[in-house]
Amino acid sequence: MFEDLPKFAFFTGKGGVGKTSLACATALSLADGGKKVLLVSTDPASNVGQVFETEIGNQITAIRGVERLDAIEINPEEAAAEYRERIVGPMRGLLPEKALKSIEEQLSGACTTEIAAFDEFTSLLTDPDVIDRYDNVIFDTAPTGHTIRLLKLPGAWSGFLEAGAGDASCLGPLAGLEKQRERYGAAVDRLADAASTRLILVARPRHSALAEAARTSRELAAIGIENQHLAINGVMPQDGTADPLAAALGRRDRAALATMDAGLARLPRQIFPLRSENLVGIAALRRFALGAEDAALNAEAKLPRPIHAEFPGLGTLIDEIERPGKGLIMFMGKGGVGKTTMAAAVATELAARGYEVLLTTTDPAANLTETLGESPPHLSVSRIDPAKETARYREHVLETKGKDLEPEGRAMLEEDLRSPCTEEIAVFQAFSRVIRESTRHFVVMDTAPTGHTLLLLDATGSYHRDIVRHADPGNHGRMVTPMMRLQDPGQTKIAIVTLPETTPVLEAAHLQDDLRRAGIEPWAWIINASLTAAVSDHPLLRQRAASEHDQIAKVRDELASRYAVVPMMAEELVGARNLRQLATVLQTPKAA
């Protein structure tokens, strides 16, 4: 796998590029080689447990069947609950119940959840027991944009505390953070130390994924993390095939690699070929780590007969979306499943039908303009940019709350607004503004990967509960909060996007459960990049297609009230004209 790894190694990159597979295979390879290894997932939508077929939680757990390998999944909600108890527990019996409830309310938002998760992250980087017990600590991180924020947070909070910000915002969290000042400083130093930390940028051989890796590389270098390596995962083998789809995929991969950013191309690089088998289970991971042949690549595997008339295409969903003439359509799912492409395709088709459409994203790593190209008539594009929204929010607060303050009070307010918590508030407010726009026209939203979208929805729910709790009972019937709009199927349609593979479908099912617990019923599922819905005679692609059948059936028969299948496309779909192909690529099934 990777040679001469230092004690700490981070796998990061755009969602769906194979970070978890590479991190798990690397950890397994090191453990098989005699090292004592800890595998850490910082992704709120972690699937390390599914890959190793072992129940893993917020505690260090031994992996069954593998000596010397332990794992932990930093679950933000569990971490937040433990963090709240550490703050509130010592006060029980000392403060009145009303005061305790007030403190618990202060600690119930997404800001506290983030603080708690990164508090555990920094402890694993600096805990002497962890450092002494393990030869290697491997981090499987959340998709790029949120990993960048996680890696910046120790420095952000250290600087905030060094400035003497006190506890003006998020009273409980900051009181806890003050005690950790020394640990955060040590975490900053460790991340920048090339002798102890390496960051492995994982990318698919796609223009968008490589462009994202290049941006990540520059951002990491800017905060002092320069020991970077590049891993290109899932490259189509060059075997001289005459199969049109396989040949086109191979050409696409080579073109993307040949034109990657010059700075990225200079990094030490390893390439991993596309596999026919899903990397689930210890045996499959070992074969991958050793570079062994796929298990029983079946040259006789046959695709089913053409199924264009059997599965509904994306166009069937767009026809239903169009009927009300307005509304919010949110695309959710694990990173890398194609949410951005699906959102852009639906928005483009609605605009082509003459509707005013806003296409927006909450994903820090998304690049709608790269996917869409030049915006067609009736379509506008925006992005909820955390940095810009935070700056806008700070300016608004200073112009309103800070307008009549004395210099000392204004200085305290400015200090408070430098807290990283401020970003969570600003992003939520921007999210709420976009939701309100959907009452006038179509708003198509490409969301951040699963875990972080759920944190945003958690903030929305917290706001809703707070408004309801403090509202005049007589106004409840006229009150409409952002959460109420999300829960109303007449105003909001949630489309869950997945790939026809075991782990993405499982994670999408978990997302659906989480949404239902929040009172939000998903409207449809989209199965993207299906080889079953494509045409190929290549053995590797046939084998991968055969493995999709059970997952497509599970979505159709058990999980979705309505669904669509989008086939694997030979070319990356960029530009409005190409995106509109997805609306017609499969024929709408005829009524019985």
The set of catalytic residues is: 16, 18-21, 43, 503
Asked if residue 267 lies in contact with residue 198, where contact means CB atoms within 8 angstroms, the answer is: no
Burial status of residue 345 (CB atoms within 10 A of its CB: 0-12, 13-18, 19 or more): buried
Integer CA distances (angstroms), 192 to 55, 146, 154, 189, 198, in order: 33, 18, 12, 5, 9
- Please, which residues bridge with residue 198 across strands? 9
What residue spans of 494-538 are helical by DSSP H? Answer: 502-517
Burial status of residue 469 (CB atoms within 10 A of its CB: 0-12, 13-18, 19 or more): exposed
Taking the C-alpha atoms of residue 343 and residue 356, their distance in angstroms, rounded to an integer, is 15
Integer CA distances (angstroms), 161 to 86, 395, 582, in order: 20, 22, 50
Integer CA distances (angstroms), 574 to 78, 228, 367, 582, in order: 40, 29, 11, 12
Taking the C-alpha atoms of residue 287 and residue 221, their distance in angstroms, rounded to an integer, is 34
Burial status of residue 199 (CB atoms within 10 A of its CB: 0-12, 13-18, 19 or more): buried
- Give backbone dihedrals phi and psi of 272, rounded to 5 degrees, phi first: -120, 130
Taking the C-alpha atoms of residue 217 and residue 212, their distance in angstroms, rounded to an integer, is 9
